[in-house]
Amino acid sequence: MAPARRRHDHGEQPAAGLLRELVEEAGQLGRVVDLMAVDNLHNPAALGPEGRPLDWHSVRVIYRVRVDAPTEAVVTELAGGSTARAAWFAPERVSRLRMTEVAARATGRSGW
């Protein structure tokens, strides 16, 4: 499943936010089984949602999640969300998907 990218809700713990996003953006119930990595991204020349310059700094936490009873991936988030569609992919197909840099790292397409 291609990982989603979104900020957590205010005061929400990262693992809880990940599991909430998994439900909203793929309709799956999962459980965190491992902390894979923590890193950060700093882009002082980023543009914010309003098109204004923004000194962007994010901390990225990458977990391994197990979905014990996978079902068809369906976006359940309300209109205006950040995900257009969700799907499961066989491991051999993942290498051919377009991904963000952090998704590629999380799936082993690039080194740490």
Residue-wise pLDDT for 68-99, tens only, equals: 999 999 988 766 677 888 899 998 888 888 88
Question: What was the pLDDT predicted at 63?
Answer: 94
pLDDT class of 101 with cuts at 50, 70, 90: confident
Alpha carbon distance 108, 112 (integer Å): 9
| Pick from 87, 35, 89, 95: nearest CA to 64 | 35
pLDDT band at 49 (very low <50, low <70, confident <90, very high): confident
State residue 44's pLDDT score: 94
**Cβ atoms 2, 84 nearer than 8 A:** no
Structure token pair of residue 43:
């882009």
Query: Which residue, 107, 80, 83, 91, is CA-closest to 27?
Result: 83
